[in-house]
Chains A and B, each alone.
Chain A
Amino acid sequence: MKRMLFFARRNALEILREPISLFFGVLFPVVLLALLSLINSAIPAEANMTLYHIENLAPGIASFGLCFLSLFASMLISKDRCSSFMLRLRTSPLRSWEYIAGYCLPMLPMAVAQSLLCMLAAIPMGLQPTIGILGMAVGLLPTACLFIALGLLLGTVLSEKAIGGICGALLTNLSGWLSGTCFSIEMIGGTFETVCKVLPFYPSALAAKALLNGQWSQAVGNIGIVTAWAAAAAIAAVLIFTRKMKRDH
């Protein structure tokens, strides 16, 4: 446990000291929030367009912003894998579970902080500060776990170069476009709507909205969908990570 905490501290410092982490983790979601909020202010009230209202927009962006956790985790793991530093660690008494926990643990407080910062930034844009903000930050933990597990998985199998494309572009776009934050999923309907409801990104955004507005019971089903995906991703990540470690051994 003690060994794992030292390793977790190292991983937290490595991520927090990368300027790119601060940009994508904090600044980018806030900039996106500000831009979409600006668009909302240009939409006439008669249009009855509520999608970009801050109470809908902010939880969607907070949910989407967590996808960058995958980028941070996968970049760190991939970098470590390709370096002699990993060789040094692998000759140390660190066990497989300590590696996994050491990589994942620091991401959870980062996820909560990221969600809260996004909400704090939304307050001057018109968001009412309620207890729902805290509920949403906690309710998004399964989403954080999902993205952390995906980061662990992708960092284990992909090179640092490929991470940029898969995590930085593909996953980010998928989780953004399929979250229903920028356009109405119901408006498109059909297969697209079904796919969005099955994948975890849209349910996560819906759960975040419900939690922010204090509609706890409405969030449960969507949190369940996200949790199921997170559990599946975590199992796959742990299996592949430990298998890869053993194979390298």
Chain B
Amino acid sequence: MNAIETKGLSKHYGTKKALACLDLTVKDGELFALLGVNGAGKTTTIKLLSCLMAPSSGSACIYGHDILTHTHEARSLLATSPQETAVAPNLTTRENLELMAGIYGASLPQSKESAARMIAAFNMGEIENIKAKKLSGGWQRRLSIAMALISQPKLLFLDEPTLGLDVLARRELWSIIRGLKGKTTVILTTHYLEEAEALSDRIGILSHGMLSALGTAQELIAQSGAKNFEDAFITLAGGAVS
């Protein structure tokens, strides 16, 4: 079954079109990067697909559940890790993880078990009893992703997961994201093109609210006739390579 299927998905605010007729299919277990310059429609797409917003027209299904008519079922299959670190500041690492497990339906013992599992998987033992607000940016981001994964979602939205992180923390997160391949469908938005190139199975480029290109990094380079992925992106995103 496909993780995401959209047909003519559109969103407009008054006369401004934020997303126009998006036809997209993302396979189960695929790591799909959604790229575009600011205002291209990435955030709108993510908001629509994560059931935060209703489309103006068109449809979208998450594992066969329509986002408008079966919102609750769709939501129970997905999780998001927003761009800004989304943690409960006065709760410890462990409590944040237990909270998210509980919100996705785990019992108290199950939530404790899941939290312990994520702490081990993300090497967060040294920070498990520290309040989230006291953690460094890198640890907060790692916790944020662990919170998104604790419910074992089938679909995960990662919005700029490595923004503002140093190179070591970024590479550690890359390794975690790579580990999800095949197990969890990941929709990644990022402005770091090397990140999209290194991690993604396929890449979609949005430009002015429309999907202007779709394929693997190599396919996009070939399609644009550029020398590298950065030049390909600039060409396909509607810019000009000087």
Contacts and interface: CB of A to CB of B under 8 A. Distances in A.
Contacts, number: 82
B102 interface: yes
Contacts of B104: 3, 92-93
A2 B90 contact: no
Interface in B73-110: 75-76, 78-91, 95, 98-100, 102-105, 107
Given A93-B105, A249-B52, A249-B53, A88 B147 contact: yes
B88 A84 contact: no
Nearest to B107: A2
Contact of A91 (B52, B90, B111, B131): B52
Given A13-B90, A14-B90, A7 B82 contact: no
A84 B86 contact: yes
A3 B103 contact: yes
B85 A14 contact: no
Contacts of B79: 88, 91-92
B72 interface: yes
A161 interface: no
B87 A85 contact: yes
Interface in A59-73: none
B51 interface: yes
Given A84-B82, A88-B147, A93 B95 contact: no
Given A93-B75, A93-B104, A17 B90 contact: yes
B235 to A, nearest CB: 33
A92 B102 CA distance: 11
Contacts of A18: 90
Contact of B99 (A7, A83, A87): A7
B78 A91 contact: yes
Contacts of B83: 84
Nearest to B84: A84
Contact of A14 (B76, B91, B98, B157): B91
B82 A14 contact: no
Contacts of B81: 88
A98 to B, nearest CB: 9
A7 B103 CA distance: 7
B199 to A, nearest CB: 22
Name the interface size band of chain A: 20 to 34
Contacts of B107: 2
Contacts of A248: 52
B86 A83 contact: yes
B50 A91 contact: yes
Contacts of A9: 99
Contacts of B51: 91, 249
A18 B51 CA distance: 32
B105 to A, nearest CB: 6
Given A2-B107, A10-B91, A85-B86, A91 B75 contact: yes
Contacts of B99: 6-7, 9-10
B54 interface: yes
B221 interface: no
A14 B90 CA distance: 5
Given A2-B105, A3-B103, A90-B52, A10 B88 contact: yes
Given A6-B98, A91-B79, A93-B76, 13 more contacts: A6-B99, A13-B95, A18-B90, A83-B86, A84-B83, A87-B52, A88-B86, A92-B79, A92-B100, A93-B104, A93-B105, A95-B72, A249-B52
Interface of B: 50-54, 72, 75-76, 78-91, 95, 98-100, 102-105, 107, 111, 131, 147-148, 157
Interface of A: 2-3, 5-7, 9-10, 13-14, 17-18, 83-85, 87-95, 248-249
27 contacts: A2-B102, A3-B102, A5-B102, A6-B103, A7-B102, A7-B103, A10-B88, A10-B99, A13-B90, A14-B89, A83-B84, A84-B82, A84-B84, A87-B80, A88-B79, A88-B81, A88-B82, A88-B100, A91-B51, A91-B80, A91-B157, A93-B75, A93-B104, A93-B105, A248-B52, A249-B52, A249-B54
Give 5 nearest A-B pairs by CB, closest first: A6-B102, A84-B86, A84-B82, A84-B84, A17-B90
